[in-house]
C-alpha cells in the first residue's frame, strides 16, 4: 500500500426533505450572503429553488441568483459568477444542481479570492486550490461525486478545452442529498450518472499497486451496488430505496475512500473529455463508449486483475485453464450492462465521428505518454478511440 492522506471533511446531510435545512447549514459554515448557483429550468419547475430560497429567507441569509449553468460548464459562466460575488459582497456559494453546477460553483469560489485569472488553476499555471469561498451543495443527480471531492472540471469556450483543477479549498463544507430529488430525472441522465459512478471506481480499481485488498473490496462493493440498483431506478424512477443506494454509492465512489493507498488510472476520463468537449455529449455517455474499449486495449497488462473483477463483480465463473477468457467475459458483461441501461456503446450511437479521432488525440496534448495503469502514447489513444468507434456486443 502506498502512503496516503485521506481527508474528507464535508458534512453529508442525507435523506428526505433535508434541503429545507440549507439556510441553517449556510450559517453554520459561516456564510452571511449566498450566491445560489443552478442550471436549467428543472430546479425552478420542480419547486426546489423556491424551497431553497424559503430556507435561506427563514434563516435571514440574503442571496443573489445565478442560473444557466450548462452541462460541461463553461468559463464564461464562471467569470459571470465571480463578478456577481465581487459586486455583491457574497461570502458563500450554494450549488443547486449536479456535477456541472458544483464544478462551476467551485470555480467561482476559487476565482473570487484569487488574485488573477481563475483559469490559471485549470491550465496548470497555479494550484492546488487552497483558498476559496466556502461552497455548499444540494445535489440533484447521482453521478460526478463532486459533492464530496476537491475536484472541478471546466470547459474553456475558446478552443473547447476541458480541464480539471483540484485542492482542499474547494471541498464542499456540506452536501445535502435527498434521493427524492432524483425522481424526476430522465432515464438517460440516470444511466449517464450511474456510468460515471462506475467509471470513478474502475479508474481506481485498475492499479499496479499490489495487495490492496481493502480498497479492492470496497471498490467491488460500490460496483455490485450499482449493478443491482441502477436497473431498479431505470424501471421505477420513484423507487426511493434504489435512488438512495445509488446516491450514497456515488459519493462513496469519489471521496477516494475506495482509492487510497494505490496508484490510479484516469486515462478513460482524459480520453472521454475530448469526446464531451467536441460533441457536448454527456460525460457518462462518453465514458460508456470509451471505458470498455480502454479495458480491451489494456487487459493483457494484468489479466488476473480483470479476471478478479469478472468473477467477483460480474459473477463470471473463473476459467482456470484460460483466465484471459474470464477477463474478456467481464469486459463484455460491463458493455452489455451499459447497453441494458440505455447507454451508447460506440461512436455511431454517441453521435461521434471516426474522422475526428486524430483531432481528439492531438487535443489531448500528451507529452510522450500518459501515466496510470498502462502508460499510453498518442497512437495507443488513437487505437482506443478506434476500438470504441466500432464496438458491438
Binding site for its own copies (CB under 8 A): 1-16, 18, 179, 210-215, 217-218, 220-222, 224-225, 228-229, 240-242, 244-245, 248-249, 252, 257, 260-261
Residues with Cβ within 8 Å of residue 365, at least 6 apart in sequence: none
Q: At its nearest, how many Å lie between its own copies and the CB of residue 28? A: 11
Give the separation between CA 151 and CA 147, rounded to whole angstroms.
9
Q: At its nearest, how many Å lie between its own copies and the CB of residue 211? A: 4
Q: At its nearest, how many Å lie between its own copies and the CB of residue 12? A: 4
H helices of 341-389, where?
Answer: 347-350, 357-364, 378-389
- The nearer residue to its own copies, 215 or 268, going by C-beta atoms, is 215
Task: Tell how strand 174-177 and strand 135-139 pair up.
Answer: parallel
Q: At its nearest, how many Å lie between its own copies and the CB of residue 159? A: 38
Q: At its nearest, how many Å lie between its own copies and the CB of residue 163? A: 27
- The nearer residue to its own copies, 111 or 179, going by C-beta atoms, is 179
Query: CB of 148 within 8 A of CB of 255?
Result: yes
Q: 188: which 3 cell numbers?
A: 438517460
Give the separation between CA 89 and CA 92, rounded to whole angstroms.
10
Give the separation between CA 373 and CA 131, rounded to whole angstroms.
32
Reference 259, options 225, 227, 218, 298; nearest CA is: 218
Q: At its nearest, how many Å lie between its own copies and the CB of residue 224? A: 5
Residues with Cβ within 8 Å of residue 233, at least 6 apart in sequence: 182, 190, 194, 239, 242, 243, 246
- The nearer residue to its own copies, 71 or 179, going by C-beta atoms, is 179
Q: Is the dihedral of CA 105, 107, 111, 117 positive or negative?
A: negative
- The nearer residue to its own copies, 221 or 364, going by C-beta atoms, is 221
- The nearer residue to its own copies, 211 or 355, going by C-beta atoms, is 211
- The nearer residue to its own copies, 6 or 238, going by C-beta atoms, is 6
Amino acid at each position: 500500500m502506498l502512503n496516503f492522506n485521506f481527508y474528507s471533511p464535508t458534512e453529508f446531510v442525507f435523506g428526505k426533505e433535508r434541503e429545507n435545512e440549507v439556510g441553517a447549514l449556510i450559517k453554520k459554515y459561516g456564510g452571511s450572503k449566498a450566491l445560489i448557483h443552478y442550471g436549467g429550468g428543472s430546479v425552478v419547475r420542480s419547486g426546489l429553488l423556491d424551497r431553497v430560497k424559503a430556507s435561506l429567507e427563514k434563516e435571514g441569509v440574503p442571496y443573489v441568483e445565478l442560473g444557466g449553468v450548462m452541462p460541461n460548464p463553461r468559463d464564461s459562466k464562471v467569470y459571470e459568477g465571480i463578478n456577481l460575488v465581487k459586486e455583491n459582497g457574497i461570502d458563500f456559494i450554494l450549488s443547486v444542481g449536479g456535477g456541472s453546477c458544483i464544478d462551476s460553483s467551485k470555480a467561482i469560489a476559487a476565482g473570487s479570492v484569487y488574485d488573477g485569472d481563475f483559469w490559471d488553476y485549470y491550465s496548470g499555471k497555479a494550484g492546488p486550490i487552497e483558498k476559496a469561498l466556502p461552497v455548499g451543495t444540494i445535489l440533484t443527480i447521482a453521478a460526478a461525486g463532486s459533492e464530496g471531492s476537491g475536484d472541478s472540471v471546466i470547459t474553456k469556450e475558446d478552443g473547447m478545452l476541458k480541464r480539471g483543477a483540484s485542492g482542499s479549498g474547494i471541498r464542499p463544507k456540506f452536501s445535502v442529498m435527498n434521493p427524492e430529488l432524483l425522481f424526476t430525472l430522465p432515464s438517460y441522465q440516470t444511466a449517464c450518472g450511474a456510468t460515471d459512478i462506475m467509471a470513478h471506481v474502475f479508474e481506481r480499481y485498475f492499479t499496479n499497486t499490489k495487495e490492496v485488498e481493502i480498497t479492492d473490496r470496497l471498490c467491488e462493493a460500490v460496483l455490485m451496488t450499482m449493478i443491482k440498483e441502477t436497473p431498479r431506478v431505470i424501471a421505477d424512477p420513484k423507487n426511493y430505496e434504489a435512488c438512495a443506494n445509488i446516491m450514497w454509492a456515488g459519493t462513496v465512489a469519489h471521496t477516494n475512500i475506495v482509492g487510497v493507498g494505490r496508484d490510479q488510472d484516469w486515462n478513460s476520463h482524459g480520453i472521454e473529455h475530448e469526446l464531451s468537449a467536441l460533441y457536448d455529449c454527456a460525460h457518462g455517455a462518453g465514458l460508456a463508449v470509451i471505458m470498455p474499449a480502454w479495458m480491451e486495449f489494456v487487459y493483457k497488462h494484468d489479466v488476473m486483475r480483470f479476471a478478479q473483477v469478472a468473477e467477483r463483480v460480474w459473477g463470471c465463473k473463473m476459467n482456470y485453464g484460460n483466465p484471459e477468457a474470464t477477463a474478456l467475459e467481464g469486459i463484455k458483461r460491463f458493455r452489455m450492462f451499459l447497453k441494458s441501461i440505455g447507454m451508447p456503446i460506440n461512436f455511431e450511437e454517441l453521435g461521434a465521428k471516426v474522422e475526428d479521432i486524430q483531432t481528439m488525440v492531438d487535443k489531448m496534448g500528451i507529452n510522450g505518454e500518459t501515466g496510470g495503469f498502462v502508460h499510453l502514447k498518442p497512437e495507443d489513444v488513437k487505437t482506443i478511440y478506434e476500438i470504441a468507434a466500432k464496438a458491438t456486443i
